[in-house]
Amino acid sequence: MTAQEQAALQVKEDRFWIYRRRLGDFWKLYRQSSLGKLGLGIVLFFVVVALVAPWIAPYDPFAFVGDPFLKPSLAHVFGTDQVGRDIFSRVIFGTRISLLVGLVASGITIVIGSVIGLVSGYLGGWPDNVLMRITDLFLILPSLPLMLIMAAILGKGITNIIIVIAVLDWTATARMVRSQTLSLKERPFTEASRAIGSTDLHTIARHIVPNVFPLVFANGMIAIVDAILSEAGLSFLGFGDPSAPSWGMVLHFADTAGATVNGYWWYIVPPGICIMLLVMGFAFISYSTDQILNPRLRRR
């Protein structure tokens, strides 16, 4: 092994230990946050439920297993819906859909927003003007009507809902990443990277992205919250996939069955509480992460 290869290997090992130490420091601070631990516990609970749904659900979520509108009992913990399907089983399987949409849609949103923010902030000039004017256009458009229009055009389905959310929710991330990139590209370490002849791609990947990532991660938790709520809203309004028993679709069928006016509370309360708890869990994680990554927000 040549001296140059040994030096490169040593650099990789040093980076590994640096990242490991930073992760350890982050976890040490995170464990001190009661809200953070509560949020993580809530999210992990729903993740486990989603993974073991086929084994803990007492019935097939699409099977007609009882009379319509049965009240909660030992046989049907959350009662049955208007066609005799077990609501408890549908809520359990709905965890999968809500988590899938939240994670995938927010992931695409973060990628789109980060790329646009990095390019806009780093290059400046006309690329910055064009990308920011496009961002402003998406910001001034009312999101809910635009979501409904796009969902109506694309048709019903979980994939289409993910596309709609991803296309419309990237603006906040783009603005945040651009602002941070504008500051980072003027720092001495970035200027030194350019001075030694590094390409723009290398400078962005090695010096800007690692410093932007913590804020993007914290913002990603809020993006998951937005995606879960957007999916629930679109499904409740009838744009979801009837073959996918998401929590929003359960509420949609409850609304069409007149559960509110007829007092079928067991049809409305369980999926509503699940949405609230999952959103609250990710919100707590975001709050705690933001406190750790932003020293000015830490409690002294």
pLDDT of residue 300: 47
Q: pLDDT tens for residues 205-264?
A: 777 888 888 788 878 888 888 899 988 888 888 888 888 888 989 999 998 888 888 888
Report the CATH superfamily, name and number, of domain 25-297: MetI-like (1.10.3720.10)
pLDDT of residue 138: 83
pLDDT of residue 22: 65
Cβ 137 vs Cβ 282: under 8 Å? no
- Is residue 19 classed exposed, middle or buried when 0-12, 13-18 and 19+ CB atoms within 10 A define those classes? exposed
- Alpha-carbon distance values, 213 to 57, 61, 167, 216, 267 (Å): 38, 39, 21, 5, 41
pLDDT of residue 194: 72
Q: What is the pTM for the complete model shown?
A: 0.84
Residue spans per domain, the chain:
25-297
CA angle 276/279/285 to nearest 5° reads 135
Name residues of the chain where pLDDT drops below 50. 11, 297, 300
pLDDT of residue 188: 78
List, in sequence order, every residue forming a beta bridge with 80; answer none if it has no partner. Answer: 86
Q: DSSP characters for 152-208? A: HHH-SSHHHHHHHHHHHS-HHHHHHHHHHHHHHTTSHHHHHHHHTT--HHHHIIIII
List, in sequence order, every residue forming a beta bridge with 86; answer none if it has no partner. Answer: 80
Residue type, 53: A
State the Cα–Cα distance between residues 261 and 44, nearest whole angstrom. Answer: 35
